[in-house]
Structure 1
Amino acid sequence: MFAYERKVHFEDVDAAGIVFFARYLNYCHEAMEAFFGPLEGGYERLITERHIGLPAVHVEVDYRGPLRYGDQVTLHVTIPHVGRSSTKLKYDFFRKRDGAHVATVVHTCAVSDLTILKSITIPDDMRALLLQHAP
């Protein structure tokens, strides 16, 4: 399991003072970028030099409780599936002040060559990292 922590910023909340629902996906992308940090050059090099992307092909979100401005949230990232050219990342959101499990996101990505916009076989270094966090 990989853990990513962040603070809820003012720009993340709606008029009710809770995190706007779509911002959860931004948090997931931040966590995904951090997840791939151990690869040489990290996520940035995947995109800019290796031209490998992970476009979303399916996303499921279950909301269980609110996050508010100023909350600290920890995302636990696990990998429930690694296929030939796709993978699933599961993000469980925990509010730090009370440990409440406030949301779960399951994000299916097609590993793709960004120059031709076609799926590719997951490179060995990516596969190894993904499998480190698989059940």
Structure 2
Amino acid sequence: MQVLQLPVRFAHVDAAGIVFYPRYFEMLNAAVEQYFADIVGVDFKTMHLDRQIGVPTVHLEADFAAPSRLGDLLSIDLAVEKVGRSSCAVRYAVRCGEETRLRASATLVCMDLVKASAIAWPDDIRARMLVETVD
């Protein structure tokens, strides 16, 4: 499911005029933030500041298929493939029009920010994530 459209900005590109690869990871994180706000219904402010939980990425694999350039409009798809007790498996696709620019997969973990340790997904978050899980 598409969760974010993002134009490639000057700050995203390197001297060659293409997206500098770490910027893609920032974009993927923005997609996670948007997913939790729009799909799960809990924004990062509420999660981090009020509920004291975070969702750090603990594993990430990426394949870069084609370069993105300044001014391109990227669509970032995020699909939750599996929800465990305290983690979830996520698949990303970054496209410009019909062309895939990046494919990635990640593991996110629900974390108690005070104790700095993994915790079970809160029931409300887990229930909404399960509804949106793809096979």
- TM range, smaller chain: over 0.9
What is the identity, as a one-letter code, of the residue corresponding to 1:88? A
Residue 37 of structure 2 aligns to a residue in which SS? coil
| Partners of 2:92 and 2:104 within 8 A in 1 | yes
The match for 2:91 is 90
Q: Distance in 1 between matches of 2:26 and 2:57?
A: 12
Residue 21 of structure 2 aligns to a residue in which SS? coil
Q: Percent identity?
A: 33
TM-score computed with the length of structure 1 as normaliser: 0.92
Q: Distance in 2 between matches of 1:101 and 1:133?
A: 23
Structure with the bigger percentage of helix: 2
What is the identity, as a one-letter code, of the residue corresponding to 2:132? H
> Shift of residue 51 of structure 1?
0.6
TM-score computed with the length of structure 2 as normaliser: 0.92
Q: Distance in 1 between matches of 2:131 and 2:76?
A: 17
Mind listing any 5+ residue stretches in structure 1 that lack a counterpart? Answer: none
Aligned counterparts, 1:87-126, within 5 A: 87-96=88-97, 99-126=98-125
Residue 116 of structure 1 aligns to a residue in which SS? coil
Deviation string 1:102-132 (CA, Å, 9 cap, x unpaired) is: 1112121111100001110111221122223
What is the identity, as a one-letter code, of the residue corresponding to 1:70? G
Residue 44 of structure 1 aligns to a residue in which SS? helix
The match for 1:50 is 51
Residue 59 of structure 2 aligns to a residue in which SS? strand
Root mean square deviation, CA, Å: 1.3
Deviation string 1:1-44 (CA, Å, 9 cap, x unpaired) is: 24310100001000110000111110011111111114555121
